Amino acid sequence: MMAKDYYATLGVDKSASKDEIKKAFRKLAHEHHPDKGGDEQKFKEANEAYQVLSDETKKQQYDQYGQTFDGAGGGGFPGGGFSGQGMNFEDLGDIFGNMFGGGFSSGFGGGGGRRAEKGSDVAVDVKLSFKESVFGVEKEINVTKNNTCERCAGTGGEPGVSMTTCKGCDGQGMKTTVQRTILGNMQARVACEECHGNGEIPEKKCTTCNGEGLEYGRKTLRVDIPPGVEDGMKIRVRGEGESIGVRGQKGDLYLILHVDVDPRFERDGDKIYVEKKIGFTQAALGDEVEVDTVDGKVKLKIPAGTQSGDKLRMKGKGVSMGRGRGDQIVIIKVVTPKKLGRKERKLMEELDLKE
């Protein structure tokens, strides 16, 4: 019988990393889990493949011989149903917990610990000028979302009242239920609905949020945008996303940066490129000209004999990226006059004869 192609089952390459293998299995587990109306056989196949490819020893044996030698399933692989041998219940518990909203454990082991809930992340678009992206700036950000109730500070109780142990969960914040799955009975640890997983209940609910610990509204933040950011970058502000009050932690706020184009400048890493047009005589004899920089206009010496396309460096006039500022590169473009008067033409002819 031909060996099963576990890499094809999970849809990954043989060179896939552990994280890529785990991610592929999670996706298939969510898609094919029978309790979600999926294909039970495909779920079994995905799990079988994952148990081998997620284990370094089994994976090495499989890659070398096309099978493993741990005796699972009577023929090298767990092929005839699930006995629990060699399974990574830590990963499965994490996956099922995400599906059903609690922490899972197998019927063979102890229950999982309390799982803290977290509010949703929030994304906000932030516009920056080119100069702001170079030097950094403090921005005022307005976010409309669920915020922690100011009156009760998120406890859900009136200020000054005592908190009592929740009788529904004996102060644990979690309850244990049993779910039947194709892997056998699985213990599910779910948040207590009476105390929202907090383990305590206030003697009197907050009159502003009715015990939820939440207020919906606009919050204004001042956020420092560091120097050297680029268009499309994201900045994470921890704990400034959606609040879920007494049920757990706040989500995070992500600032998505949009940098305006400045037609004078072109950026590449910590360097800024500009084009400077000069006349023929300036190029031939040399000169001092003004050049636009993000600091304002700065004088630049043009050496005699400069050619069109030459690049002149202005040190320290580029972008700051945490290790000092980069440079500005000035690309010279020599402009040749389209029309010459008699005098100018004669001078040019004399120069040509001398050359």
Binding residues for Zn(2+): 149, 152, 166, 169, 192, 195, 206, 209
Show binding-site residues: 149, 152, 166, 169, 192, 195, 206, 209
Structure tokens at 89: 């219940």
Angstrom distance (rounded) from CA 120 to CA 97: 17
C-beta separation of 214 from 245 below 8 A: yes
- Dihedral Cα 122, 128, 130, 136, nearest 10 deg: -80
